[in-house]
Amino acid sequence: AQSVTQPDIHITVSEGASLELRCNYSYGATPYLFWYVQSPGQGLQLLLKYFSGDTLVQGIKGFEAEFKRSQSSFNLRKPSVHWSDAAEYFCAVGASRGNQFYFGTGTSLTVIP
């Protein structure tokens, strides 16, 4: 069965520091992988996605993610965090049946000045 694990429930970083949010997935075939961000009281916004090809994908707001098949991981990174990046981040994997996605439980990011 498909599943997504985000092992970090909450992360705190200083503004300007680098960031890495972890995501591990379980999937039988080549996955479609996504990262979404949710600001307080808002819906989810797509940050980036991976379907195939180059394993390092660039997204919006300066984020990037690297697909590592051997580790079943799709970690999200940003070299320098801004206070506006404080939000909830969700990793998702696409299922083989239609477009059903499976989401991780999310990582809450706090940015301190």
Partner 1 sequence: DVKVTQSSRYLVKRTGEKVFLECVQDMDHENMFWYRQDPGLGLRLIYFSYDVKMKEKGDIPEGYSVSREKKERFSLILESASTNQTSMYLCASSTLGNPTGSYGYTFGSGTRLTVV
Cα 30 to the chain's mean position, in Å? 17
- Site residues for partner 1, window 2-21 (CB under 8 A)? 9
Backbone Cα Rg of the chain: 13
Q: Across the strands, what pairs with 80?
A: none
Q: What is the full DSSP assignment across 32-101? A: EEEEEEE-TTS-EEEEEEE-SS-SEEE-GGG-EEEEEGGGTEEEEEESS--GGG-EEEEEEEE-SSTT-E
Q: Which of 41, 54, 70, 113 binds partner 1 (CB under 8 A)?
A: 41
- Residue 28 lies near partner 1 (rule: CB under 8 A): no
* Nearer to partner 1 (CB atom), residue 51 or residue 83: 51
Distance CA 17, CA 112 (A): 10
Q: Which of 14, 42, 55, 58 binds partner 1 (CB under 8 A)?
A: 42
* Nearer to partner 1 (CB atom), residue 26 or residue 105: 105
Q: Which of 27, 78, 89, 94 binds partner 1 (CB under 8 A)?
A: 94
* Nearer to partner 1 (CB atom), residue 3 or residue 14: 3
Give the interface with partner 1 as residue ranges (CB under 8 A).
Answer: 9, 32, 34, 36, 41-46, 49, 51-52, 90, 94, 98-101, 103-106
